[in-house]
């Protein structure tokens, strides 16, 4: 039964990779040569890992030199494709700009600005709006035939939705309209360029009072309680890993501190990554609400945006930075720990444990080699810390709701896809919980997402402009490594490569 479930998990990983590649190709081919080049870039970035795990599945594993060669080769090809992409992009951009200029010139000749204004006034359907009439009249002045030609006004919450036709590139149009809005109203209103349910660009104007709220005193007190709780659970988890229960023998707390500090180094690195990039975009983040757990010490932290995000690129960069920094720190700790492991190291683990993760198991086999063919292996404490850090990082990369993974999917693929991946993640976690009741973590995370994190992040101010292709490639790599961390090796595959007695 265990072997069957693990084989099924491995099949799911391979199927997910193939599905992502096929879906990416179908999405890319619509854009012609530019799309195909961008898709090839993402493949090149993932190819070392795909080749590594593919060979590993066949019982062939590469050493660190081979892995490094694959990474360097993929980077070189990625840069070469990038030059090709930029050249093709410049050519396409020049053609597009020329066509737009001819089209705009024809429109200007057909109707003067004054007649455009009259047509706007005739077509606009203004219902009772919460925005004062004088403000609503002034708001119409931010639109133009070179940005957004509004044809209908609909009340929405404390503001209004303007339907119409987008003229030009979304980022340029949004920038021009935002500048005019600030000149007319200073800091009173916010402008959002989003997609309507009919998949048409619309402009939403909301007052400043709808901005994200800062953390209240009650929430700060809750964060403090969760922080204390996470400190205790991290100490307790560290003590259990060392073979004693801290709550039954608190005098041994000193023995649990080093491992606990190692875990906290990953948690802090995650938060630092978020905040460094957020500061670059001048985005305020709330204090972290750490999530304590007895199993691994902590599930990470929930951090809210306390500022509006300007675009999906900012959403990606801030969301990606935390897992990227924490993942690199965890991976380095794991590799250093495996390198330092020797007979007589502090921890003795059954080699069966390394089957719990494709990524950790493959790295352990590459570095430790024949040492994993025994029933028990001595490992350095850094291995445990790095492994826990990778698991925490991978859990936060699940593509659901307001988790980092959900925000990354929202940033790269849009809100519609993010809603679908949230639902799919909940379904998969539910199925895993049913087939593996001995592991409570999938059930905990499904409950956490369902009640706290299932909603998507609020729309950014420019929802229409997508991040560049390099960010899309990094997103695919992050999601791929997330799967490789959480999905176990099958017993049959582990046996073929000599992982376990």
In this predicted structure, what is the pLDDT of residue 41? Answer: 67
Q: Quick check: 163 and 196 in contact, CB under 8 A?
A: yes
What percent of the chain stands above pLDDT 70? 76
Q: CA 448, CA 453: separation in Å to the nearest integer? A: 7
Neighbouring-strand partners of residue 297 = 293
Mean pLDDT over 126-142 rounds to 73
Q: CA 215, CA 306: separation in Å to the nearest integer? A: 8
User: Which one, of 150, 139, 124, lies nearest residue 178 by Cα?
Assistant: 139
Mean pLDDT over 53-72 rounds to 62
Mean pLDDT over 143-162 rounds to 83
Taking 80 as the threshold, does the pLDDT of residue 307 lie above it? yes
Taking 70 as the threshold, does the pLDDT of residue 117 lie above it? no
In this predicted structure, what is the pLDDT of residue 323? Answer: 94
Domain limits of the chain? 2-30+212-496, 116-210
In this predicted structure, what is the pLDDT of residue 64? Answer: 54
- The residue with greater pLDDT, 14 or 127, is 14
- The residue with greater pLDDT, 491 or 208, is 208
pTM of the model: 0.75
In this predicted structure, what is the pLDDT of residue 106? Answer: 54
Helix or strand or coil: residue 62? coil
Mean pLDDT over 284-310 rounds to 88
- The residue with greater pLDDT, 228 or 54, is 228
Confidence band of 114 (pLDDT split at 50, 70, 90): very low
In this predicted structure, what is the pLDDT of residue 54? Answer: 65
Q: CA 143, CA 137: separation in Å to the nearest integer? A: 11
What's the residue count for the chain? 501
pLDDT tens for 456-497 read 888 899 998 888 878 888 888 888 888 888 888 777 776 776
Residue 466: C-alpha distances to residues 16, 97, 424, 445 (Å): 23, 19, 23, 29
Identity of the highest mean pLDDT range in 28-32, 72-76, 231-235, 237-241: 231-235
In this predicted structure, what is the pLDDT of residue 108? Answer: 47
In this predicted structure, what is the pLDDT of residue 380? Answer: 87
Mean pLDDT over 257-261 rounds to 88
Mean pLDDT over 87-95 rounds to 57
pLDDT tens for 47-57 read 766 676 666 65
pLDDT tens for 8-20 read 555 665 666 677 6
Chain-centre distance for alpha carbon 440 = 24
Torsion angle of C-alpha atoms 314, 292, 327, 237, degrees rounded to 10: 170
In this predicted structure, what is the pLDDT of residue 97? Answer: 52
In this predicted structure, what is the pLDDT of residue 118? Answer: 43
* Strand segments (E) across 339-462: 347-350, 376-379
Taking 90 as the threshold, does the pLDDT of residue 317 lie above it? yes
User: Which one, of 132, 117, 195, 112, lies nearest residue 161 by Cα?
Assistant: 195
The mean pLDDT of the chain is 79
pLDDT tens for 366-405 read 888 777 778 788 888 888 899 999 999 999 999 998 999 9
């Amino acid at each position: 039964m265990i072997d069957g479930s693990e084989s099924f998990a491995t099949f799911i990983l391979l199927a997910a990779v193939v599905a992502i590649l096929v879906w990416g190709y179908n999405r890319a081919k619509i854009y012609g040569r530019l799309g195909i080049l961008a898709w090839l870039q993402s493949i090149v970035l993932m190819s070392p890992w795909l080749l590594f795990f593919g060979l590993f599945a066949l019982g062939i594993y590469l050493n660190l030199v081979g892995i490094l060669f694959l990474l360097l080769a993929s980077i070189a090809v990625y840069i070469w494709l990038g030059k090709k992409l930029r050249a093709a992009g410049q050519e396409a951009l020049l053609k597009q700009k020329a066509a737009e200029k001819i089209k705009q010139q024809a429109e200007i000749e057909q109707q003067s600005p004054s007649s455009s204004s009259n047509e706007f006034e005739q077509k606009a359907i203004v219902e009772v709006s919460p925005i004062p009439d004088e403000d609503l009249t002034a708001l119409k002045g931010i639109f133009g035939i070179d940005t957004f030609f509004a044809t209908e006004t609909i009340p929405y919450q404390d503001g209004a939705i303007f339907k119409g036709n987008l003229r030009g590139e979304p980022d340029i149009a949004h920038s021009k309209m935002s500048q005019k809005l600030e000149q007319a109203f200073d800091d009173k209103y916010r402008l959002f360029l989003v997609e309507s349910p009919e998949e048409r660009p619309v402009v939403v104007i909301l007052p400043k009072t709808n901005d994200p709220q800062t953390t209240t005193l009650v929430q700060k007190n809750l964060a403090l309680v969760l922080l204390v709780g996470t400190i205790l659970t991290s100490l307790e988890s560290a003590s259990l890993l060392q073979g004693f229960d801290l709550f039954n023998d608190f005098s041994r707390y000193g023995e649990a501190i080093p491992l606990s500090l190692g875990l906290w180094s990953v948690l802090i690195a995650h938060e630092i990554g978020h905040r460094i990039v957020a500061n670059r975009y001048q985005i305020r983040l709330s204090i972290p609400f750490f999530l304590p757990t007895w199993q691994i010490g902590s599930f990470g932290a929930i951090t809210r945006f306390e500022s509006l995000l300007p675009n999906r690129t900012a959403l990606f960069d801030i969301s990606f930075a935390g897992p990227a920094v924490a993942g690199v720190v965890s991976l380095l700790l794991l590799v250093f720990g495996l390198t330092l492991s020797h007979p007589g190291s502090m921890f003795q683990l059954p080699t069966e444990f390394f089957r719990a993760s494709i990524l950790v198991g493959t790295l352990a086999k590459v570095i430790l080699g024949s040492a994993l063919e025994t029933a028990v292996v001595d490992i350095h404490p850094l291995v445990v810390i790095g492994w826990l850090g990778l698991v925490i990082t991978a859990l936060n990369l699940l593509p659901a709701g307001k988790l980092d993974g959900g925000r990354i999917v929202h940033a790269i693929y849009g809100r519609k896809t993010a809603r679908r991946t949230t639902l799919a993640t909940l379904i998969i976690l539910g199925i895993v919980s049913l087939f593996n009741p001995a592991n409570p973590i999938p059930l905990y995370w499904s409950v956490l997402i369902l009640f706290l994190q299932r909603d998507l992040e609020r729309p950014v101010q420019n929802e229409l402009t997508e991040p560049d292709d390099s960010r899309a490639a990094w997103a695919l790599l992050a999601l791929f490594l997330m799967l490789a961390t959480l999905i176990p090796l099958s017993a049959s595959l582990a046996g073929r490569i000599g992982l376990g007695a």
